[in-house]
Structure 1
Amino acid sequence: MAEITQCLKTLYLQQDSLTKLHQVALESGLNKSLRPLAWRIFLGVLPSEFGEGWEKIIQKQREKYISLRAKHWDNKEMLDPKPKFIDPLAPPTENPVVKENKDILRRVEGDVQRLFSDQEYFTNTELRNKITRMCYVFAKDNPLKNYQQGFHELMAILYHTFDTDNTTTVFIKSCEELDLTDDEKRILRCVLDKEHLEEDIYTIFEFLMKDLGDFYQSKDAKIDDKRSRIQEKCDEIFGYLNTYDGQYHSLLVKHEVINIFAIKWIKMMFAREFLLNDVVIIWDSLFAFGKKLKLLDGFFLAMLHFVRNDIIENNDQVYTMKRVNKFPPVENLHNLITLAINISEGKPPVIVKKVEPQHEKITSKLTGFFIGKKTKEENKGHEKQFVDKTSTPSTMEAIESNETPSWMSESPWGETVTGKKIRAVNENAEKAKAAENHKILKQSIDQLEAENKKEPLDIEAIKRIVEDLKLSLN
């Protein structure tokens, strides 16, 4: 009980509650924070300041939907008065209004029948009837948007979220025991009453469409520009991607997959790419960030960044198509949300150039320092220079078998005079070689550091190689 009371007072009933509510929604999600109440505030259904006005607003909204339902749903099959004279020879005709109503209903029912059919909750007949009614009433009351595929899924997710919210259930069951005033209890009971879910979800959807509805172009809408609003949004997002990751942008354009997945991501607010439990957390952040769902852009780009390396490394159109149409599981969703917020605030990720090509380039330069640039044939000859042409058959046999020639083996009776001379010569040669290598390594480091200042090479790769070379000198 104390936890619910603390949640209400901290996030909803105090004067500075809104700031804290936004913070919780963006940083950790609203699983334990009365999500249905927060979404109403974020979407503008309720004012942010708690008071008597909440109860009046909610009641008025419910009455509005009941009136719309009576007007559109209850009369959807009514015909206009029959004409006084009917020509028996004329072909049968159907009232155009009734025909339109039937067409809307047919499309809605077809979509609702397929609604999340793999999840038992959504197969409930009563729930599907409610979703059908809400979609139909919205289409009739908003002819410019009409009904479009996807509306039923958005409504269903909203309904499921409000119906299954645990903190709401706990509040309803234990309201009388909470440390709240009688007025606070009365108002909150009214707002969170699950008996009016259909009316409330319709209202929430209506407010959501004020921001998201621009991306649902009606078939009857007259648009001067050949591009729809959703296409303009895609252009904006990918244009921004091009400002900080041109390589990735070019690859996606080359593979011609942008419109295939982008429209679905935006219109459905990523609902088809994640599990339902994750979808509501994503929506927490989208609604809390506000600014007409501006975080949609940032989250879109954060998702693209998440699969960036896979797509670039494979560089295959079919693979890219599969990757963006079946998004991989995200282990830490809040990291993705944080990245989305940073992008939306003008702080995109820093793209580090791929390291491997730089390694190859630098390795090639270092090889040039050590042995100079040689052809393959010269290198083959170089390998044979270490074997004296006058070597005896026994020496050649020992070299090929990786054994030490008998004349170079240590004598069991101590080092011979010849052995001492050979050892001294070898030691001097090794010292000279070490000094030369030290000099070459030093030159390599100096040149790499100089090139790093002149060329836009991968800084991290340069640093790692330079550090390795410096360790070699010690």
Structure 2
Amino acid sequence: MSSLLKSRIADFQDVLKEPSIVLEKLRELSFSGIPCESGLRCLCWKILLNYLPLERASWTSILAKQRGLYSQFLREMIIQPGIAKANMGVSREDVTFEDHPLNPNPDSRWNTYFKDNEVLLQIDKDVRRLCPDISFFQRATEYPCLLILDPQNEFETLRKRVEQTTLKSQTVARNRSGVTNMSSPHKNNTPSALNEYEVLPNGCEAHWEVVERILFIYAKLNPGIAYVQGMNEIVGPLYYTFATDPNSEWKEHAEADTFFCFTNLMAEIRDNFIKSLDDSQCGITYKMEKVYSTLKDKDVELYLKLQEQSIKPQFFAFRWLTLLLSQEFLLPDVIRIWDSLFADGNRFDFLLLVCCAMLILIREQLLKGDFTVNMRLLQGILMWLSRCPGLPHHRCQQDPTESQGTPRLEVTW
């Protein structure tokens, strides 16, 4: 460990050991990158995202309360109607009309259950392919949900619900003579034919299944926005950070802690996911236009070039802003950028500057290119930024758990 890194760790520890943490000092330190050693990043993110208060003395009680509340959410919201009666030995003759799956009442538990499954299937499809460049989310968690393992509980694993809801697909092929053949799409055992949705044995949970449960509970508690595609890319880095906490006592509660930090973060950026607000001053269209107005102030030549080619910020900046750049960089670099985003006192104004810096870093290629070339550049910007000085070097195909130190982020003009 370098002397510089040791000094930075000591600076963070000095700030965090105070009975009442000075938020401005913590933000100033965090903006330049938070070391992952000693669980510093996990703790700082919890404070910067308003999950933990500034008074250290209240941390233990608040964490116990919030984690208990999350367990209550699981018990109340991931329940299959009729399961409790089955566990109590109720016979089929005793099932009432209200308990029946064909009950047309919109307030019936079965009707809610079927609607929830529609949301769950979308979440399931998205979380299974989370961060495909690393194996972390496909690996088993050390701390599967204990409610799943309790046969006396009404809790039902989401994996089982997905399996019951999804029909097994078959491939239908018709030859020239009109004979129709039906075959399984995963008949062979070759690697290319393996089911991409293969899961771990009962009693084990992959990390993506934990993320799926977090998103499902969030959707249930926030029906106004529910689940929107892309939320999985926001919760993924949060969960990864907490699930790799060196402090095993906190790591065990990564699911609950991620849920509340994600909820707090979404409270700040949820307008980006609400279509009806797109054209309002708090909507995503306004923020995309701010990217261009900021670019005009910093590099008018590049701004005029993009305007001349009718390249609108909607063509590329929508994803950058909505997903907080989580799709433009590999996970270690996303986490490093988020250190600065969360520490930004003017919430996410810094994100606009990063987006402009990304454009300016490839300005020479953009000034030379035509519309087609430039659109390809902007929509595949990761490849080009990896060649630019001033941003972290990308660790392609490397698990972030193997990286050391704090990547550097510089945004200069």
Q: Which TM-score band (shorter chain)?
A: 0.5 to 0.7
The reply on whether 1:102 has 2:117 as its aligned counterpart is: yes
Shift in alpha-carbon separation, 1:71–1:291, aligned structure 2, 3 A? farther
Question: What is the CA-CA distance between 1:7 and the residue it aligns to?
Answer: 5.6
CA contact (8 A) 1:78 1:98 kept: no
Shift in alpha-carbon separation, 1:157–1:250, aligned structure 2, 3 A? same
CA contact (8 A) 2:138 2:208 kept: yes
* Match of residue 287 from structure 2: 233
What residue ranges of structure 1 are gaps of 5+ in the alignment?
173-191, 341-348, 350-474
Shift in alpha-carbon separation, 1:76–1:308, aligned structure 2, 3 A? farther
Structure 1 residue matching 2:326: 3-state secondary structure:
coil
Greater relative contact order (Cα < 8 A, sep 6+): 2
Equivalence map 1:37-436=2 (5 Å): 37-49=43-55, 51-75=56-80, 82=97, 96-124=111-139, 125=200, 126=205, 127-165=207-245, 168-169=246-247, 193-217=250-274, 229-253=283-307, 254-314=309-369, 316-327=370-381, 328=384, 329=386, 330-333=388-391, 337-339=409-411, 349=413
Structure 1 residue matching 2:286: 3-state secondary structure:
helix
Shift in alpha-carbon separation, 1:223–1:26, aligned structure 2, 3 A? closer
Please give the alpha-carbon distance, in whole angstroms, between the structure 2 residues aligned to 1:287 and 1:87: 47
Q: Alpha-carbon deviations, 1:257-286, whole Å to 9, x = none?
A: 521211111111111111211111100000
Please give the alpha-carbon distance, in whole angstroms, between the structure 2 residues aligned to 1:195 and 1:85: 38
CA contact (8 A) 1:266 1:296 kept: yes
Structure 1 residue matching 2:77: 3-state secondary structure:
helix
CA contact (8 A) 1:29 1:284 kept: yes
* Match of residue 10 from structure 1: 14
Of the candidates 27, 39, 56, which is equivalent to residue 22 of structure 1? 27
Shift in alpha-carbon separation, 1:87–1:112, aligned structure 2, 3 A? closer
For 1:47, the aligned partner's letter is P
What residue ranges of structure 2 are gaps of 5+ in the alignment?
85-94, 140-199, 393-406
Q: Alpha-carbon deviations, 1:269-306, whole Å to 9, x = none?
A: 11111121111110000001132222111111111111
So what's the TM-score if we normalise by structure 1? Answer: 0.58
CA RMSD of superposed structures (Å):
3.5
Structure 1 residue matching 2:411: 3-state secondary structure:
helix
So what's the TM-score if we normalise by structure 2? Answer: 0.66
* Match of residue 36 from structure 1: 42
Structure 2 residue matching 1:58: 3-state secondary structure:
helix
Shift in alpha-carbon separation, 1:115–1:77, aligned structure 2, 3 A? farther
Structure 1 residue matching 2:58: 3-state secondary structure:
helix
Q: Alpha-carbon deviations, 1:343-375, whole Å to 9, x = none?
A: xxxxxx3xxxxxxxxxxxxxxxxxxxxxxxxxx
Question: What is the CA-CA distance between 1:17 and the residue it aligns to?
Answer: 5.4
Please give the alpha-carbon distance, in whole angstroms, between the structure 1 residues aligned to 2:274 and 2:287: 13
Please give the alpha-carbon distance, in whole angstroms, between the structure 1 residues aligned to 2:389 and 2:101: 68
* Match of residue 385 from structure 1: none
Question: What is the CA-CA distance between 1:193 and the residue it aligns to?
Answer: 1.6
Shift in alpha-carbon separation, 1:260–1:86, aligned structure 2, 3 A? closer
Q: Alpha-carbon deviations, 1:125-158, whole Å to 9, x = none?
A: 5212211111111011001121011212222211
Please give the alpha-carbon distance, in whole angstroms, between the structure 2 residues aligned to 1:77 and 1:309: 64
* Match of residue 457 from structure 1: none
Shift in alpha-carbon separation, 1:81–1:197, aligned structure 2, 3 A? farther
By percentage of residues, which structure has more helix?
1
Question: What is the CA-CA distance between 1:56 and the residue it aligns to?
Answer: 1.3
Please give the alpha-carbon distance, in whole angstroms, between the structure 1 residues aligned to 2:365 and 2:14: 43
Corresponding pairs, count? 309
For 1:207, the aligned partner's letter is N
Q: Alpha-carbon deviations, 1:48-75, whole Å to 9, x = none?
A: 34x2211111112112211222221224
Structure 2 residue matching 1:339: 3-state secondary structure:
coil
Q: Alpha-carbon deviations, 1:437-467, whole Å to 9, x = none?
A: xxxxxxxxxxxxxxxxxxxxxxxxxxxxxxx
Please give the alpha-carbon distance, in whole angstroms, between the structure 2 residues aligned to 1:141 and 1:274: 30
Q: Structure 1 segments of 4 or more deviating over 6 A? A: 76-80, 84-88
Please give the alpha-carbon distance, in whole angstroms, between the structure 2 residues aligned to 1:238 and 1:319: 19
Structure 2 residue matching 1:100: 3-state secondary structure:
helix
Aligned residues with identical type, % of pairs: 27
CA contact (8 A) 1:76 1:101 kept: no
Structure 1 residue matching 2:329: 3-state secondary structure:
coil
For 2:136, the aligned partner's letter is Y
Shift in alpha-carbon separation, 1:235–1:6, aligned structure 2, 3 A? closer
* Match of residue 178 from structure 2: none
Please give the alpha-carbon distance, in whole angstroms, between the structure 2 residues aligned to 1:121 and 1:210: 27
Structure 2 residue matching 1:193: 3-state secondary structure:
helix
Question: What is the CA-CA distance between 1:336 and the residue it aligns to?
Answer: 8.5
Equivalence map 1:437-452=2 (5 Å): none
Structure 2 residue matching 1:297: 3-state secondary structure:
helix
More off after superposition, 233-242 vs 280-289 = 233-242
Larger radius of gyration: 1
